[in-house]
Amino acid sequence: MVTVTAGKPPPHPLTDWDRQCGFAESDDVIGARRVEDEAALAQLGCQPVWLDFLDRQYRDGKPPPQSGVARAIEAILRDRAPKMIASPLGLSHPDHLVTAAACLDVVRGKRAVTWIIYEDAIYRAINGATEEALARLKHQRFALRPLEVSAAARKGAAIDCYSSQLKGLGELVRDAYRPERYWSVIREA
C-alpha cells in the first residue's frame, strides 16, 4: 500500500490540521501517522510504502508535482511488478487529485495491469464530486465498469487505527466507515 504524501517536513509551525488532530508543536506528527498507518495496514495484511512527498499543508497549500509522483509510482511498479493497481478517483483534495492524475499517467501504457479506482472517502460526501470525476475520466476516453466489492469487517478496525486523523475529521468520520464504490478502468481505443 503506497502513501504518496508521507514525507517528513523540515521544522515548521504546527498546522491547523495537525492541531485539530491533537498534536502539539514539538510532536513528530509524521512519525505518529506512520505508526498509525503500519497498525492499520497490519489489520488488512498489507505493508506500507511511504513516498517522501510532503502533504500540501507542509507545502504552502500546494500539492506535490504530478510528474514527480508519476515517476515515483512508475519506479515502484518496476520494482514490484503488480498485477493490479488501485488508485483514488481523485475528489476535491489537491493531493488526491494529483495522485489520481499521476496514476492515470502511469497506467495509460500498462495494458497488462488491471487498474481499479475507488471513491475517496470523506471527499465523496461533497455533492457531485464523484460524478464530476467519473465524467472527467470518460471524457479522457476511459471506459468504467462498476465492480461489486463487499465491505470487509477489517476496514473498520483499520480506520480505528488512525486515531489522530479521526479526531480532526469530526462528523465527517462517519463517511470513512461507509463502503467505497469501485470501478475497473479500461483505456478505449
Write the single-letter amino acid at 133: A
Q: How many domains does one find in the chain?
A: 1
Could you list the pLDDT tens digit for every one of the 189 residues in the chain?
899 999 999 999 999 999 999 999 999 999 999 999 999 999 999 999 999 999 999 999 899 999 999 999 999 988 887 878 889 999 989 999 999 999 988 887 766 778 899 999 899 988 999 999 999 999 988 889 999 888 778 889 999 999 999 999 988 889 988 888 999 988 765
Cell of 41: 495496514
pLDDT for residue 3? 94
Choose among 73, 146, 95: nearest CA to 116: 146
Judge contact between 38 and 49, C-beta under 8 A: no
What pLDDT score does 189 carry?
A: 56
Check which CATH number belongs to the domain holding 88 and give it: 3.40.50.10320
Amino acid 24: pLDDT? 96
pLDDT of residue 105: 87
Range of the domain at 45: 2-187
CB 173 within 8 A of CB 166: yes
